[in-house]
Amino acid sequence: MYDELGRFVVFGILFSFLLLLIAFYIIHTKLQNNALFASYAARIFDFFYKPLLMVYIFIYKSPDKLHAKMAEIKNNAHRKKFIKTKNRIIIAPHCMRHIECRAKTTRTGIQCTGCGKCSFSEIRKLAEKYNYKLYIITGSSFVKHILKHPDSEGTDGVLAIGCTYEINKGMRELKGKNLVTYGIPLLSSGCYNTDIDLEFFEKELIYFEDAK
């Protein structure tokens, strides 16, 4: 009996290594641009997330590379589905605000007054132009408040701005909820005075608008 159990465990370990090898092969070749392969790799990486995190911390001393790669392949996997969505919202982090931001926080996030100190006034204009609802949230578990709120009913696409770690976490949480997520990474992490590449952001919005 123990003999069989041992065989089963060894087989399981070998099998998971095989799956991981295929996933690594995908992310290092052009196959990662294919939605099908990318979604396969994303699933595998999600499944082995914690052990991989351990390995990355051990080798690189920081898990940023893993998060960046995972966000990239998830974007590749979701791009085509995101084009088909109709009611989209943008979720942005509070750390992009100006230091002296005086905006109030409510159940639907931070209420931007559009004072022009940070890039949110620009983002707000872009969001209105391309029919997105903009929510500025104070943390990743705020997302569930927003999705519950009647204002955001019928949402099927979430464009998430954030550091790659938060994008990953948000995507993992929203996976089983009939939502398509797409991430726009911040230029720097650190939860303080962060910013995004506005030109790149607008390009992505135009891309999704044209492809509709």
Partner 1 sequence: MFILYLFYSPLKWFLSIFSINALFVDEILVEIQNAVYLEKFKKQTERKVVLLPQCLRSSSCQARCDPLFGFICTKCGRCDIGAIMEQAELRGFKVFVVPGSSFVKKIFKEYKPTSCIGVACPVELSESMQKTSVIPSQGVYLINDGCFETRVSVSDVIEKMELVSPLKTIIEQEKKVSSCAESQGDGLNV
Q: What are phi and psi of 88, to 5 degrees?
A: -110, 150
Residue window 45-74: x/- pattern of binding to partner 1, with contact defined by CB under 8 A: -xxxxxx-xx--x----xx-----------
Residue 12 is a binding residue for partner 1 (CB under 8 A):
no
Q: What are phi and psi of 149, to 5 degrees?
A: -65, 140
Report strand pairing: 88-93 vs 157-162: parallel
Of 110 and 205, nearer to partner 1 (C-beta) is 110
Q: Is 156 exposed, middle or buried (0-12, 13-18, 19+ CB in 10 A)?
A: middle
Q: Quick one: which of 209, 205, 207 has its CA closest to 90?
A: 205
**Window contacting partner 1 (CB under 8 A); options: 17-25, 81-89, 150-158, 187-195:** 187-195
Q: Quick one: which of 197, 142, 131, 199 has its CA closest to 166?
A: 142
Given 99, 153, 199, 210, the residue binding partner 1 (CB under 8 A) = 99
Given 103, 147, 156, 189, the residue binding partner 1 (CB under 8 A) = 189
Q: What are phi and psi of 47, to 5 degrees?
A: -65, -40
State the minimum distance, in angstroms, from the CB of residue 84 to partner 1: 26
Of 82 and 142, nearer to partner 1 (C-beta) is 142
Can you give the binding site for partner 1, defined by CB under 8 A? 46-51, 53-54, 57, 62-63, 93-95, 99-100, 104-107, 137-142, 144-145, 163, 165-166, 169, 176, 189-193
